[in-house]
Amino acid sequence: MTGLLNFRKQDHVSLQFKDHVIRCVITKEASEASMVAFYEKAVPEGIIEKGKIIDETNFVLILEECIANWKLKRKNIKFLVPDSSIFFRKLSLPNNLTKEEIRGHINFEIGTSIHLPFEDASFDFHILDSEEETETIEILFFAVPEPLLKQYVKHLEDGNTKPDVADVAALSLYRFYYLNYLDQIDDDAHIMLLEWDMTSINVSVFNHHKPIFLRSIPHYLDVENWEMTQEDSLVTWKDINSEKIDGDLADSFTEIERVIDFYKYTLFKGEKEVSKIFLTGDHPMLMKVKKMLENSTGLEIEMKHSIGDIIEDNSNVANKFLLPLSLCLKEV
């Protein structure tokens, strides 16, 4: 599957923009074992909200600092599209269309049979394989607001970098798990990926190595409950109001349980269900989240403390860098 943007030669530098942080991973090659640097920079409240840049002036100042400190000028950049902006559907189309005709058909149908929650979309699609000859084919359709995509591209270009790929985080993350856990992923299994962050929970479910379900669940980061420290190029969070944070976690678990039930009973009429959960993210209480998930779902929860635990080397890089690292594995 190509990215939503793909117009220059690949480099192995990737960025992840979150409401509360910007992360970067650099690899020598398109492999996790060749990682040479990782950085993050805290983003103050009110600059990025649900993936949209609200305060461009201060965003530019932070981005310029990152580009300078991380030595990214004139480098090709891959970046992850903000999860909350992604529209995803499975569509049925006539079986006699070429890829170019499919793109033209989608362009024509947007606003008529394909209804998006935004105007001016940038989109990508993937044709699903079928073992039977039918009159229709099924495609996976991804779309994001084109102005939002162009906003990030413009600021990266203004900072003298070369954005060449924008990708969907869930696809990038599954790519990493597929490469590293192939022996644990049955084709028939319904694999849920949970990226549990400080400002959102991003949920995706894959079956036969294709995405079936994507959802981003935002939650408000009350900075008064946390103590944030920026040391060099790493950010740490310490809870200072455990009671309030535990309440927020309980609310989030209610949402996840609803998603699991929706997947089983609404999408598959009780005939299919989530088989296993891979958990990652930057929430400081991720181990507590894992235990709560095990108790509430009864499912096997796979979570590693560091990337080195996954790729079996001696690196102690926190798994919150897993998303940008996974994007470095993408071949252009």
Give the pLDDT means over successive 10-residue stretches in the chain (332 positions). Answer: 48 92 94 89 96 97 97 95 93 90 93 91 87 81 95 97 94 88 80 95 94 91 92 92 91 92 95 94 93 91 80 75 92 68
Write the DSSP string, 122-185.
EEEEEEPP-SS--SEEEEEEEEEEHHHHHHHHHHHHHTT-EEEEEEEHHHHHHHHHHHHSGGG-
Cα separation, 92 vs 127, whole angstroms: 10
User: Are 214 and 271 in a shared domain?
Assistant: yes
Residue finishing a domain among 103, 126, 144: 144
Q: Is residue 270 part of a domain?
A: yes
Nearest to 268 by CA among 202, 185, 212: 212
User: Are 61 and 22 in a shared domain?
Assistant: yes
pLDDT for residue 306: 77
User: Are 273 and 254 in a shared domain?
Assistant: yes
Q: Is residue 266 part of a domain?
A: yes
Q: For position 173, which CATH number holds?
A: 3.30.420.40
User: Are 275 and 229 in a shared domain?
Assistant: yes
Q: For position 100, which CATH number holds?
A: 3.30.1490.300
User: Are 176 and 309 in a shared domain?
Assistant: yes
pLDDT for residue 312: 65
Residue finishing a domain among 144, 166, 187: 144
Helix (H) or strand (E) holding 101: helix 99-109
pLDDT for residue 1: 37
pLDDT for residue 131: 60
User: Are 78 and 215 in a shared domain?
Assistant: yes
pLDDT for residue 332: 62
User: Are 241 and 282 in a shared domain?
Assistant: yes
Q: Is residue 5 part of a domain?
A: no
User: Are 139 and 62 in a shared domain?
Assistant: no
User: Are 93 and 200 in a shared domain?
Assistant: no
pLDDT for residue 78: 96
pLDDT for residue 307: 79
Q: Is residue 90 part of a domain?
A: yes
Residue finishing a domain among 108, 126, 144: 144
User: Are 137 and 182 in a shared domain?
Assistant: no
Domain count, the chain: 2
Q: Is residue 134 part of a domain?
A: yes
Q: Is residue 2 part of a domain?
A: no
Supply the range of the domain harboring residue 38. Answer: 12-84+148-329
Cα separation, 2 vs 125, whole angstroms: 8
User: Are 205 and 111 in a shared domain?
Assistant: no
User: Are 54 and 199 in a shared domain?
Assistant: yes
Q: Is residue 7 part of a domain?
A: no
Nearest to 202 by CA among 174, 229, 223, 178: 174
- Paired tokens of 176: 């990493």
CB 91 within 8 A of CB 114: yes
pLDDT for residue 315: 67
pLDDT for residue 146: 95
Q: Is residue 133 part of a domain?
A: yes
Nearest to 19 by CA among 36, 44, 37: 44
CB 82 within 8 A of CB 50: yes
pLDDT for residue 266: 95
